[in-house]
Amino acid sequence: MEKHEGQGSTRREMLKVTGAAAVAGSLAPALAGAAPGARTAFFTAEEFTLADELAELIIPADDHSPGARAAQVAAFIDQLLHESVDAGVRSRWREGLRSIDALSRQLHGVAFMQSSPEQRVAVLERVSQNEASPERPEEHFFRELKSRTAFAYYTSKVGIHEEMQYKGNVAIPEFVGYDAELLDRPK
């Protein structure tokens, strides 16, 4: 049941993206997920759409909170890659995104963004199967993609406040000591 609902919500998100991507295509370089009028600094429009979709698949919107797309994870990654002085990391991302598309064509005969939601999940399942000890380039890329996505998401407003409902970083009016009774109660 839960799984079914999850898929439903993913599919609804998918429709939104497809719509946004279509608009993006006609109004390039305005981009799906980015703030209106924003330009990417490193990703091409196609790369951005793909990275945005991959991030959302890793951390999707669910009935608890919005996902990576709403948290503008891809825009943050784009900025970091743009600023990086490490040309290696930029080319790894470019090649990594290409390898996702290549795997999609190999498995399903179409580019990732042209495939169905189920097919997209299948590609991610394939690249994440050796997550603990990745070997193939696309498996390494999955780890990079996931760790950057998680960092960007869980440091975002959405991640901290809506998803994690973090209670701290506020001045507590009365600082209370630990509960001595709880600790010292007889065993």
Partner 1 sequence: MAEVDLKTVYDAIVVGSGAAGGMAAHVLTSHGMKVLLLEAGKKLNLDQELQSMRWPYEHPRRGLMRPNRYALSASDYQNETRPYGQGNRFSRYTAVHSYVQGWSGTDYSKNIVVNEKENPYTGTPYAWVRARCVGGKSNIWGRLALRMSDFDFKAASRDGYGEDWPISYADVEPYYDKVDLYLGIAGVKENLPYLPDSIFQRPTKLNLGEVKLRESLARTGRVLTPYRAGVTTDGLKHNKYRSRCFGRGACGRRVGGCDIHAAFDSPTGLIAPAMDTGNLTLRPNSVVCEVLTDRSSGKSSGVAFIDAESGRRYEAKAKVVVLAASTLESARLMLLSRSRLYPNGIGNSSGHVGHNFCEHIMGPGVTGLVKERVGKPPTLDDGRPNGFYVARFRNLSERHPNFLRGYGFEGSSGLKMFPDTNQPGFGAKYKKAVRDHAGALISMGGFGEVLARYENYVDLDPKVKDKWGIPALRFHYQFGDNEKKMAEDMVVTAREIFEEAGIEVISTRDKYLPEGWSIHELGTSRMGADPKTSVVNQFQQSHDVKNLFVVDGSTHVSAACQNPTWTIMALAWRSCDYLAEQLQKGNL
Interacting residues with partner 1 (CB under 8 A):
6, 57-60, 62, 64, 67, 76, 79-80, 83-86, 121, 124, 128, 131-132, 146-147, 150-152, 154-157, 160, 163-172, 175-179, 182-183, 187
For the CB of residue 125, give the shortest distance to partner 1 in the complex, in Å: 8
Question: Quick one: 35 or 170, whose CB is closer to partner 1?
Answer: 170
Residue with tokens 């943050």: 76
Cis before 137? omega within 30:
no
Rounded CA separation 19/15 (Å): 6
For the CB of residue 6, give the shortest distance to partner 1 in the complex, in Å: 4
When computed from its CA atoms, the radius of gyration of the chain, rounded to whole angstroms, is 20
Please give the backbone phi and psi of residue 66, each rounded to the nearest 5 degrees, phi first. Answer: -65, 165
Q: How many CB atoms lie within 10 A of CB 177?
A: 5
Question: Quick one: 46 or 62, whose CB is closer to partner 1?
Answer: 62
Question: Quick one: 47 or 159, whose CB is closer to partner 1?
Answer: 159
Give the residue from 64, 67, 85, 94 showing the smallest Cα distance to 152: 67
For the CB of residue 163, give the shortest distance to partner 1 in the complex, in Å: 7
Question: Quick one: 26 or 174, whose CB is closer to partner 1?
Answer: 174
